[in-house]
Amino acid sequence: MSELKGKILAGKVLVKPQPAEEKTSSGIIIPDSAKEKPLSGEVVLVGVAKKDETMEVKVGDNVLYGKYSGTELSIGGVDYLLISQSDVLYIV
């Protein structure tokens, strides 16, 4: 991954989603039209804390987030998800 330039605003987290599953556990190949959106990923950038709130997540954390959370971005050909810290459900 190339060095990301720029800055994330207060209370926001930039996540690199894990790739969608290609096969089921029994070996059935999942077509693109039936793939579920991933709900977990690795934190790559963290903004500063909002007023009266601490940032609980840090770069390198693996997180689980809500199904309809955030905004999808493509930076340098890599897909990311920009979410609010409040959309993070669980830090692995």
pLDDT recorded at residue 2: 55
The answer to whether position 7 is within a domain reads: no
pLDDT recorded at residue 53: 87
The answer to whether position 28 is within a domain reads: no
- Structural domain including 48 reads 12-20+37-91
The answer to whether position 73 is within a domain reads: yes
Position 51, amino acid: K
Number of domains in the chain: 1
pLDDT recorded at residue 80: 93
Contact (CB, 8 A) for 52 and 2 = no
The answer to whether position 58 is within a domain reads: yes
Reply yes or no on whether the pLDDT at 85 is more than 80: yes
Which pTM does this prediction carry? Answer: 0.79
Note the pLDDT tens digit of each residue in 17-70: 987 666 667 777 767 666 666 689 999 999 998 888 888 999 999 999 988 889
Contact (CB, 8 A) for 63 and 92 = yes
